[in-house]
Chain A
Amino acid sequence: MTTMRPAEWPLPAKERIWRLSLFSLACGAAWMTRDLRWDVVWTTAPALLQGLGISFLLAVTSVAAGMIAGMILAVARTSGPFGLRHLAIGYIEIVRAVPQLMVIFWIFFTWPAVTGRGMSPWSAAFLSLTVIAAAYLAEVIRAGIESVPPIQKESAFVLGLSPFQAFMRVVLPQALRNMLPALIATFVMMFKVTSLVYVVGIVDFFRAVVIINNREFAPYALYTTLAVVYFACCWALSWLIRKLDPNYALTS
């Protein structure tokens, strides 16, 4: 595992020039847009923060549940019996090939229409995000498992561990370590996908902004805030990826 690298300090001259110009660009943009109605953002901040909290909550819970389902899918795909393996492959590939909105619609509109039992927006949102996360995480976990050399598993068998023990105690810890950057990347992706539960009516961050804009009509200020906050959240997380795995980003 790559260790966290401390930043070189003092920063090189070019780096300092770059950061200074980015900072002054941001200040200039703020100055030029000072006439926009930023006060709307300020007065509705509690509602916006609540929405942001709901977005995070949905992302965290769906990734946690998707992790468990994804692990089962990954194991089924790599070492399941004949039929089960193909079911897992079919699930993973279909969910990944179909628009995320379509998955949400299947669970929120189509499924109740067929079974005749309604579903609350919350459970529909949680379930559809979990379905999406499970498919993507299954591939991440599979890549992680396959990155562990087979000799590790064989050695565990030789030492007398059962297949389950060998997987849980030897293969999985190493796989988790290897797939940590991809795991965070999937979390970032899921955080962005939570903006789509807008369609089932949950007041997440995105819908909170849309509702406030419908009332106040300050589209520039509100949608810019929306973009900036999403950027800040996702960028902070992907900063973590770049620290863990320097080869991950374009700048490396």
Chain B
Amino acid sequence: MKWSIAWEYREALLNGLMLTLQISAVSIVASTIIGMVVACVASLPGFFARRIASAYVEMLRNIPVVVKIFFFYFAVGLDAIPAAMLGLTLHQSAYIADVLASGFRALPREQFEAAYAVGHSELQSFVHILLPQVFRIVMPPMITQYIEVVKNSAIAMMIGIEELTFQTQQIEAETFRGFEAASIATIAYIVIALVIAGSMGALANRLKAGIT
């Protein structure tokens, strides 16, 4: 064991970590927005709206994320980072749409009607009454989805993005100290997962406190 390798390569590891966090953050925000739109379409009353939403979900969910990233990078010809972000976003938006749609289904219809009757506009009742409750219901599966984005961002190394997993492979190739580098990266990923779970859990508790 030679843990000083971590100090010698601190810059590479930190840059990799930053890139992982950037890609993940953009993909998390974008996939939540897209997932929300698709889930809203899925909850519309019409037959075709529901079918279009489910076609979107099925199509994106059944293709591995690495295939999407390679498609955008090699076939469409985007730059590496946008291709990775787009692939991750589209992939996870399908899962998030499914989670949110089941959250909307779990909510009693009277909630919307009551909010509307009290004098909120449609948008207001959606934003102030429905969304907080839906987010409370879907928080546990959403934590899983967000951690999944961070995990999948490691795949970006396959198109040459120098994120955390890529840096560990670099260190392994340069110094044969793969064990130390891989341990550090593994711990970093676990810490990121714990931070996501902890902060989302705290947010869920605040939402709960705000409602009751």
Chain A residues close to B by CB (< 8 Å): 14, 18, 22, 94, 97-102, 105-106, 109-110, 113-114, 188, 192-193, 195-196, 198-199, 206, 210, 213, 219-220, 223-224, 226-227, 230-231, 234-235, 238, 249-251
Contacts and interface: CB of A to CB of B under 8 A. Distances in A.
Contacts of B48: 14, 18
Contact of B168 (A105, A114, A193): A105
Secondary structure of the A side of the interface? helix
A99 B64 CA distance: 14
A224 B70 CA distance: 11
Nearest to A249: B54
B172 A97 contact: no
8 contacts: A102-B165, A113-B179, A188-B62, A206-B67, A234-B62, A238-B58, A249-B54, A250-B97
Nearest to A21: B48
Nearest to A97: B193
A228 B104 CA distance: 31
- The number of chain B residues touching the other chain, given as a range, is 35 or more
B66 A196 contact: yes
Interface stretch (B115-123, B132-140, B149-157, B200-208): B149-157
Given A18-B48, A110-B178, A250-B57, A97 B97 contact: no
Contact of A234 (B47, B63, B165): B63
Interface stretch (B6-14, B25-33, B184-192): B184-192
B63 A99 contact: no
Contact of B185 (A97, A102, A230): A102
Nearest to A210: B70
Contacts of A110: 172, 178-179, 182
Which of A193, A231, A250 has the most C-beta atoms of chain B within 10 angstroms of its own C-beta?
A250
Given A110-B172, A206-B67, A235-B62, A105 B182 contact: yes
Given A18-B48, A193-B64, A250-B97, 9 more contacts: A94-B186, A98-B186, A98-B189, A99-B155, A223-B67, A223-B75, A226-B70, A238-B62, A249-B58
Nearest to B68: A227
Given A196-B155, A199-B158, A250-B42, A231 B54 contact: no
B14 to A, nearest CB: 18
A204 to B, nearest CB: 11
A225 B154 CA distance: 24
A223 B66 CA distance: 11
A100 B47 contact: no
Nearest to A214: B74
A185 to B, nearest CB: 10
B67 A101 contact: no
A188 B95 CA distance: 14
Nearest to B191: A97
B165 A219 contact: no
B80 interface: no
Contacts of A192: 63-65
Nearest to A101: B154
Given A97-B147, A102-B182, A102-B185, A113 B176 contact: yes
Contacts of B154: 99-102
B55 A235 contact: no
A247 to B, nearest CB: 9
A109 B101 contact: no
B57 to A, nearest CB: 5
Nearest to A12: B47
A115 to B, nearest CB: 10
Contacts of A114: 179
Which of A100, A196, A199, A223 has the most C-beta atoms of chain B within 10 angstroms of its own C-beta?
A223
A18 B42 CA distance: 15
Which of A102, A198, A210, A234 has the most C-beta atoms of chain B within 10 angstroms of its own C-beta?
A102
Nearest to B183: A110
